[in-house]
Each structure stands twice: as C-alpha cells, then as structure tokens.
Structure 1
C-alpha cells in the first residue's frame, strides 16, 4: 500500500494531526485527487481516517528514518467524514441559512439538487454565478434546486453578492466543521449533483457529468432526459 504524507518543514517532520495524507486504498499505484476522494484527506486535530473495504484505518506512527508507517484499525464511528462517491446517498446535514435559521438538506424538495461550494474570494466561483442564475431560471420550474455552501468566514460579503446579483436559491453560511472536516472541501468551487433521494449523480468529473458553469446546462439536460 502506498502512503504519502505532507512534510512540515517548520516542525522538521510529519505531523499526523495536521497536513494532507494520501492512501492508495484501491492499490492502483496512484492517489485519487478528485473532490471528495477517500484517498486524499486533510488531518484536523487527529490523523485522517480512511475507509478501506471493511476496515476503518488511521495512521498511528511514522518512522522517517526507516521509511516505515503503522496504520491501526479504529471503530467506524471515528469517521465523521461525508463520503462523496457516485451512487451513494449523501447523509442529511444541518446548516444555517443566510437569514440565520437552522435548516436541513432534507428540507429542499426537488428532482435534482446542486450543492455549490463557493466563496467571494474564489474567482472561478464568482464567474460561475451568472451561469448558475441562468440555469436556475431554466430548470427551477422543472424541479431543480441549488444550495449554495458558502466558504466566507464572515457573512457580509456573500450576502452583499447575493443581494446585488439577485440570487434566489438558498444559501448556507460558512460552517468550518461541515466544510473542512465532514465534506473535506479543498477545491473551490466544488459542485455535487443529487437526485430527489440525495443519491450522488455527479461530483463534477469531466469524464462523467461535468458541473462547471460551461458544462452544467448540458449535464442537467442529460439527467433530465431533455434534448440538447
């Protein structure tokens, strides 16, 4: 099994409680870098937890001198991450909307739901917003919903953008635990397309159903069965 660990030059070593960890779970000789991949995780406070078949594994120790590492099996309950794999059901989660009200993903009712992880400091995210407006106008009446998952640590800027651009879909305020620990979002923007049962249809891979602004309309027409 191949393992890659981020070296902390300040600490002059590997810190298992922080940094990125890679684990070649499927043994194909490379690390899966796609958003939501279970092979690339960031440790936050404790070593990252990987799902490998029926095992839940966590790095226990690293010996750089002898190039050895020790993994240990931990209870499955130690994994708080939301796994993103096509065909799996996304668990329900709670969030605070832009008005300060606590809500759940399951409150959104639609044939298709797009989770858009965006932030005002992310240039591609901002470039996608006008396209999302057009897509929302075209498909909302056909059961399409968007939930914006904002990455700004303070709400002032995103709320100003929402007002200025006339964005009508629901927004979730920044939640560090939800974005960084549970979803493990490291690429902005990241988009996830769900069906009415919260089954993951796409995580935006170009080889499958791309969800960026340029390709999103075509991908939605594909899943809705509409002609291009």
Structure 2
C-alpha cells in the first residue's frame, strides 16, 4: 500500500512540475507586457516635440507588441491575454497617430473581447464602454446618431453604474440634452468681443463660421491652434470666419496669446472660466469644442476638430 501511495505521489508531482514551470514562465512574460504598457501610459520623459512624441510612441508600441506576442506564445489560454487585448483597444488611436494604419480597428478589438467566453464581465463592460467612446467622435456624421448613442449610453450606465466611463457618459448626456434642437434653427449668438468688435452671427450669413470654445491654459486647444490658423489663412479669403469663445479667466494672458499667434478673429471673454456664460448655455464640458456653422447660420457640426479644413471646404462649396 505504501509503495502504491508513493507511486501516485510521484506521478502527481511529475504532472505538477511542468505546469508550475509553465505558470512561472507565463508570469515572467506577463511582467514584460505590463512594463511595456507602463512605458506607453507613463513615459519616464516627456517629448519636446510632435516628432519626438511619434518616435517615442513607435518604440513603445514595438516593445509592447514583442512582449504581447511572446506572452501569447507562452500562455495562449491565459485569461490575462484579454487585458492585453483591452490595452490594444485603448491605444488604437495611438497607432493611428504614428501611422500604423494596418492595425485592427477599435471595434474589431472590442468585439473580440465581447465574444470571448473567458473574458471577465468587467473587461467586457470596459470594451462596451470603449465602443461608446469611439462612437462619440462620429455622432455628427450619422442621422439620429446622438439619439441612438444616448439610448445606448443610458442602458450602459444602468447596467454599469460604477464604470470608469460613467462620469464621461453622464456629462455627454447632459450636453446632448442642452444641445437638443440646436440644429433645428439658425444659431443665435451676439456679444462684444474683447477687442471691442460687435459680433452678431446673423450678420455673417453667407459665410462658414467656426465657433471655437477654447482657452490659453488648455493644452489640446493650444496644440490644435496651428491647424486652426492654417485653415483660416487658406480659407478666410473664400468666406471662412472664426469666432472664439474663451474660457480663460486672465484677460491679459488671452490678449497676449492672441497677439503672439496672429489670431485675427474676435474673442468672447467674460473671465468666468468654466462658468463662461456662452459655454454654460450650450452645455460645453470639455475643450476644445469646435462647432461649424454653415452659410445659412445652421450648426452643421459640433465636432469639427481634426477635420476642420475638409468640412469648411465642403460647406463653402455648398449652395
């Protein structure tokens, strides 16, 4: 009997040892994946230019791809692979930024997670949230897009009230409510600009107008300004105008920035920051917010960022 027990123990040990080593190898490989993720999310040094940012990101993505591939080969059924897949979903725009156009689409990555039998409920909820985040970028381009998105976002929040996306979706729903009907009639906007000019949007009929909600202290706004200036210089002679709505509190800094950058268009300023009268009226909760108004005074886009020149040319050509 004792001999048989020893034999069984030896057999069990023989079966367990390879698995122990396999698990240890997978854990060590996963550490490299986590390190690569961290290097992308929290780089040790900040890039000093766009070019440097692209190169740093390319290097980080290459290290991540190599680590993720090695982990997948060592542990093809390890549930942590869905954490890696979700990270790929999070950085899908970063791949676009560095020109990796052959990468899987965000929706495809999300669907892989949602269809995975061994992905956790939390991971699937996050994937659904990311799909909703990505849809926000194209609400202007689909008829009824805002209504459909709001319905899906409300259902998501009901099912996932503690989701990390909840604050963002709640703010967007408030914005959609505040903007309800804004595209049904010409936009009414009148004010005295910081330089004394009297602005009345109704007197700009026949022009295509960008309403740019921004601030000097807003990094993404400042980063976007070269594109805005480029579009203005190219298309202003053809009938393109810009009206700035500044969420600054320091008038001197605003005036100095506008002068330094050569921003010839008028600026609304009331010194109230996020409580700015105009931005509050329209539920603006993040900047830059770039609205485009057509020749008839109708708001045709509330998300012109990243495609400004293309949209302006489109509406300048329209009758």
Indicate the TM-score class for this superposition, using the shorter chain for normalisation. Answer: 0.5 to 0.7
In structure 2, do the counterparts of structure 1 residues 101 and 217 end up closer, same or farther at CA, with 3 Å as the change threshold?
Answer: closer
Change (3 A) 1:139 1:84: farther
- Aligned twin of 1:197: 296
- Aligned pairs, number: 155
How far apart are the structure 1 equivalents of 2:235 and 2:266? 15
Q: 2:315 aligns with which of 217, 223, 226?
A: 223
* Superposition deviation, residue 90 in structure 1: 4.0
Partner residue of 1:40?
174
Instruction: Report SS of the residue matched to 2:187.
Output: coil
> What are the ranges of 5 or more consecutive residues in structure 1 without an aligned counterpart?
1-23, 43-49, 51-80, 205-210
2:246 to 150, 175, 195: 150
For residues 85 and 203 of structure 1, do their structure 2 counterparts lie closer, same or farther at Cα, with a shift above 3 Å needed? farther
TM-score relative to the length of structure 1: 0.58
| 1:106 equivalenced with 2:202 (yes/no) | yes
Larger strand fraction of residues: 1
Q: What are the Cα deviations for residues 7-34 of structure 1, in whole angstroms up to 9, with x where unaligned?
A: xxxxxxxxxxxxxxxxx98772424978
* 8 Å CA contact retained: 1:84, 1:90: no
* Residue of structure 2 in register with 1:129 after alignment: 225
Instruction: Call closer, same or farther: CA 1:121–1:91 in 2, change over 3 Å.
Output: same
CA RMSD of aligned residues (A): 3.2
Deviating above 6 A after TM superposition, structure 1's stretches of 4 or more consecutive aligned residues are: 24-27
How far apart are residue 225 of structure 1 and its match? 4.0
The answer to whether the 8 A contact 1:85-1:200 is kept is no
Unaligned ranges ≥5, structure 2: 1-145, 156-167
What TM-score does the superposition give when structure 2 sets the normalisation length?
0.43
Partners of 2:317 and 2:307 lie apart in 1 by 16
- For 2:209 and 2:237, the matched residues in 1 are separated by 13
1:51-88: CA deviation from partner (whole Å, max 9, x where unpaired):
xxxxxxxxxxxxxxxxxxxxxxxxxxxxxx5x366742
Which structure has the bigger radius of gyration? 2
SS in 1 for 2:153: coil
